């Protein structure tokens, strides 16, 4: 007798837990051939609101951790992805109809991408900050700091590598993230969330919503408690409205003009986009009238 398939219901990932949508809605995810593959939660604006609250709570802990520790945690993500490699490959094969070899190479590239950004965390202060040469009796020092909660629309072109490539740089910079997964392909994103949940990433640091970009993104863009907005996954025609909403609440926007090539070596632009530079001026040297010591 044929065995009845167990269809998985993929849920949201908010605050370290896997809740259903507050609205109770789900949608069906179909594979390349149109067969029912799984059910996924259809997130509402209130799920987005809850995710931002969770991300704000997670931000304190993540940004307060040492860069060295953040690097270790990100590396741990790569270790856990390696352990679930075959599951990720199978999912990509069934959802996108890729060959096993193509899917394997996407998963490998994604794991390498995670390791790449894990190495960046403790180098950011040296690369983007340091002492500034100023003319005057001051010691001037700049230090990059994470900007806060970053909302990301995940790109659609393939399920895993673009997702990793947009989420990891924001994390490496010390931000917490609310990511709206690709609508057609939420299974890989939620599996990635399951990996995050088991890899020492503190609760709330990454929150994954599944559903319609058009429904959720406007609320994230206008949310006053969102500090950064990554519109890489939003088609150019739909960006303007989101950028206007983001500007109303003074939110940084990263919206690359050209479609990024995620297979190429990543630059630093995505980390820089969600870093703020704090500069400190400290008086030094002789400032007394005698020209000597001020003591």
Partner 1 sequence: MSATPTASTPSAPTPSAPVPASSADLRVSLGLTATDGAALRSFLHGLPAVDPVGLEARAAQLASRSIKKDTKRALIDLAISMVDLTTLEGADTPGKVRALCRKGIAPDREHPDTPSVAAICVYPDRVATAVEVLKGTGIKVASVATAFPAGRSSLEVKVADTRLAVDAGADEIDMVIDRAAFLAGDYSTVFEQIAAVKDACGGARLKVILETGELGTYDNVRRASWLALLAGGDFIKTSTGKIAPAATLPVTQVMLQAVRDLHDLTGVQRAVKPAGGIRTTKDAIAYLVLVHEVAGPQWLDPHWFRFGASGVVNDLVMQRRTQRDGHYSGARYVSVD
State the minimum distance, in angstroms, from the CB of residue 222 to partner 1: 4
Closer CB to partner 1, 223 or 270, in the complex: 223
State the minimum distance, in angstroms, from the CB of residue 12 to partner 1: 17
Closer CB to partner 1, 158 or 251, in the complex: 251
CB 242 within 8 A of CB 103: no
Q: Which residues contact 172 (CB under 8 A, 6 or more apart)?
A: 70, 71, 74, 117, 118, 120, 121, 124, 271
State the minimum distance, in angstroms, from the CB of residue 9 to partner 1: 23
Nearest 5°: the CA angle 262, 259, 51 is: 75
Give the interface with partner 1 as residue ranges (CB under 8 A). Answer: 49, 52, 56, 219, 222-225, 245, 248-249
Closer CB to partner 1, 13 or 219, in the complex: 219
Residue linked to tokens 């500090």: 227
State the minimum distance, in angstroms, from the CB of residue 57 to partner 1: 10
Closer CB to partner 1, 52 or 152, in the complex: 52
Residue 79 DSSP SS3: helix
CB 60 within 8 A of CB 81: no
State the minimum distance, in angstroms, from the CB of residue 45 to partner 1: 8
Closer CB to partner 1, 52 or 88, in the complex: 52
State the minimum distance, in angstroms, from the CB of residue 65 to partner 1: 21
Strand order of the sheet with strand 275-283? 130-132, 138-146, 275-283
Tokens of 85: 């490699």
Reference 169, options 248, 238, 87, 113; nearest CA is: 113
Closer CB to partner 1, 12 or 245, in the complex: 245
d(CA 151, CA 155): 13
């Amino acid at each position: 007798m044929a065995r009845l398939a167990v269809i998985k219901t993929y849920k949201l990932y908010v605050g370290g837990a896997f809740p259903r949508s507050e609205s109770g809605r789900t949608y069906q995810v179909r594979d390349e051939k149109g067969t029912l593959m799984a059910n996924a939660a259809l997130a509402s604006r209130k799920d987005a609101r809850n995710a931002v609250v969770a991300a704000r709570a997670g931000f304190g802990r993540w940004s307060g951790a040492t860069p060295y520790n953040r690097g270790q945690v990100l590396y741990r993500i790569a270790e856990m992805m390696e352990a679930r490699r075959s599951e990720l490959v199978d999912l990509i094969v069934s959802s996108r109809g890729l060959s096993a070899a193509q899917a394997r190479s996407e998963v490998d590239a994604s794991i390498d991408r995670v390791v790449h950004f894990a190495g960046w965390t403790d180098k950011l202060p040296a690369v983007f900050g340091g002492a500034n040469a100023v003319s005057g009796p001051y010691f001037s020092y700049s230090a990059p700091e994470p900007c806060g909660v970053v909302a990301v629309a995940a790109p659609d072109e393939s399920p895993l590598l673009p997702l990793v490539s947009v989420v990891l740089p924001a994390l490496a910079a010390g931000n917490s993230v609310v990511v709206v997964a690709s609508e057609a392909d939420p299974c890989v994103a939620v599996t990635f969330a399951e990996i995050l949940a088991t890899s020492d990433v503190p609760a709330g640091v990454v929150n994954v919503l599944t559903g319609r970009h058009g429904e959720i993104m406007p609320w994230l863009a206008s949310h006053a408690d969102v500090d950064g907005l990554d519109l890489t996954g939003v088609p150019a025609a739909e960006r303007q409205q989101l950028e206007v909403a983001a500007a109303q609440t003074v939110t940084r926007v990263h919206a690359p003009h050209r479609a990024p090539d995620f297979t190429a070596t990543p630059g630093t632009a995505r980390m820089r986009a969600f870093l703020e530079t704090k500069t400190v001026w400290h008086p030094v040297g002789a400032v007394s009238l005698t020209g000597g010591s001020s003591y």
